[in-house]
Amino acid sequence: MLEGKKFFIHTFGCQMNLNDSEHVASLLSKSGASRTDSPENSDIILINTCAVREKSVEKLFSYLGRLKDQKLNKGSVLVCLGCVAQLYREKLLSKFPYLDLVVGPAKYQELPFLLSRPCLEPAVLSHWEKKWVELPISPEVRESQVSAYITIMEGCNNFCTFCVVPFTRGREKYRPLRAIIEEARQLAEAGYLEVQLLGQNVNSYLDPESGADLTVLLEKISDIEQIKWIRFLTSHPKNFSLEMARTMASLKKVCHQLHLPVQSGSNRLLASMNRNYSIEDYLQKIGWLKSLMPAISLSTDIIVGFPGETDDDFGQTMRLIEQVKYTNIFSFRYSPRPLTRAARLKDDVPEEVKIERLIRLQRRQKEIQLELNNKMIGQKQKVLGLGCSKKGNLFTGRNEGYQVVNFSSSQPVKPGLVEVKITGAGAYSLRGEVST
């Protein structure tokens, strides 16, 4: 259908979006198109977008503005995908009249048909599918040869008051367990060593056919011999159970690493965010994890400057990071998102206060990371080598804690698991050499 056409995909946002781009690339490749690595050489430009923060939408709008000349001079087809497509729909076509298609995440399977029509009419496709739609990924479009994403669920029923995801991804729907296991088996046969199970709220996963939960899914993937490491994200603290922590500790292939978004250290703000846990509940779960897996690597998301955040609320967040000692945090200034309940609250923390709090938080977190990483010097760690590092003369990979490790080796290193002696540490990465 699309023989001879070249396509380019630019992805904004999280792992879910990266995985969605792999799905789209697979659909177009199967229809005869080939992927290029620059918009200038392509007949079809697809932009996979993120609506989670105002800043990501601003970046997208500026990118779309820069593509105008390319679109008008070369006549490429311009397609907006993802959460911004779902959220803004027709508004995108009026703001950027040179866009050809606006397609939300539930309608990607229609892209080959839409793009192969002889006369392309500007169109918006954004309705929800209630059932799971299987979109297989061909191995050649995967970003990595050794580590693969597998989507296990999509959407969210939680309606945190700041979050736009329930409006862009819809309500939760779960992929059948047999389809997930089949994909994991195929990946194992193709040489993949690590799988990362993805979804907005993976701990609420239930197989629509048998009712099996995430612990059962992890056990079944662990049985696939060639798979060595398993990760999963994102976990909501309210759904993270003691049974889940015990499963992580007991299954050898499940990495001792967890992203557990807290958002704030203040119970008052957690209630206002509709998070449905208290900081005491959260810390109890951290306690289970640390007692069952003492070396676990923990990361989190934190919003500063949520409506009504006082110095005292922020002080509680600062105390939390001292207590937990996260390996990494993703911290952001609050910005109101369309359709959310928090957007109706007064955005009353002045911008300069938000910036000052964010700087204080990130500065202290950087020191914590450096302290933690320095303690790793001298350790021998397994690292999943992914290829050459940005500097070109080193190899790069991630350890079990999902930290970046740049390492040297006297021999060429193929992507795969290697043992690395840690010889140096920065706040954001480790250095090492392949141990002999």
x/- mask, ligand SF4, residues 359-378, rule CB under 6 A, reads: --------------------
Q: Which is nearer to ligand SF4, 260 or 422 (CB)?
A: 260
Q: Which is nearer to ligand SF4, 169 or 398 (CB)?
A: 169
Least gap, CB of 155 to ligand SF4 (angstroms): 8
Binding to ligand SF4 (CB under 6 A) within 235-264 occurs at 236
Least gap, CB of 160 to ligand SF4 (angstroms): 3
Binding to ligand SF4 (CB under 6 A) within 99-118 occurs at none
Contacts of 204 (CB under 8 A, 6+ apart): 153, 157, 172, 236, 239
Question: Is position 233 an interface residue for ligand SF4 (rule: CB under 6 A)?
Answer: no
Q: Which is nearer to ligand SF4, 200 or 365 (CB)?
A: 200
Distance between CA atoms of 61 and 81, rounded to whole angstroms?
13
Q: Which is nearer to ligand SF4, 15 or 374 (CB)?
A: 15
DSSP state at residue 27:
H
Q: Which is nearer to ligand SF4, 52 or 146 (CB)?
A: 52
Least gap, CB of 158 to ligand SF4 (angstroms): 4
Q: Which is nearer to ligand SF4, 44 or 57 (CB)?
A: 57
Least gap, CB of 304 to ligand SF4 (angstroms): 15
Residue 352's H or E segment, with its range, is helix 351-374
Q: Residues 202, 152: contact at Cβ < 8 Å?
A: yes
Q: Residues 260, 292: contact at Cβ < 8 Å?
A: no
**Nearest-10 crossing angle of helices 214-222, 177-189:** 30
Least gap, CB of 403 to ligand SF4 (angstroms): 23
Reading the block at residue 393, the tokens are: 């003369």
Backbone conformation region of residue 279, classed left if phi is above 0, alpha if psi is from -120 to 50, else beta: alpha
Q: Which is nearer to ligand SF4, 201 or 406 (CB)?
A: 201
Least gap, CB of 278 to ligand SF4 (angstroms): 16
Binding to ligand SF4 (CB under 6 A) within 318-347 occurs at none
**How many other C-beta atoms can be found within 10 angstroms of the C-beta atom of residue 349?**
20
Residue 292 — φ and ψ, nearest 5°?
Answer: -80, -30
Q: Which is nearer to ligand SF4, 160 or 254 (CB)?
A: 160
Q: Which is nearer to ligand SF4, 234 or 297 (CB)?
A: 234
x/- mask, ligand SF4, residues 196-225, rule CB under 6 A, reads: ----xx------------------------
Least gap, CB of 384 to ligand SF4 (angstroms): 27
Q: Residues 55, 303: contact at Cβ < 8 Å?
A: no
Rg (CA), the chain: 22
Least gap, CB of 226 to ligand SF4 (angstroms): 32
Residue type, 287: G
Give strand pairing partners of 217. Answer: none
> Tokens 């079809």 identify what position?
44
Binding to ligand SF4 (CB under 6 A) within 132-191 occurs at 156, 158-160, 163, 165-166
The rounded Cα 71 to chain-centroid distance in angstroms is: 29
Binding-site size, ligand SF4 (CB under 6 A): 10
Using DSSP bridges, classify how beta strands 416-425 and 429-434 pair: parallel, antiparallel or unpaired: antiparallel
Largest CA distance in the chain: 63
Q: Residues 103, 83: contact at Cβ < 8 Å?
A: no
Least gap, CB of 166 to ligand SF4 (angstroms): 5
- Which residues make up the interface to ligand SF4 (CB under 6 A)? 156, 158-160, 163, 165-166, 200-201, 236
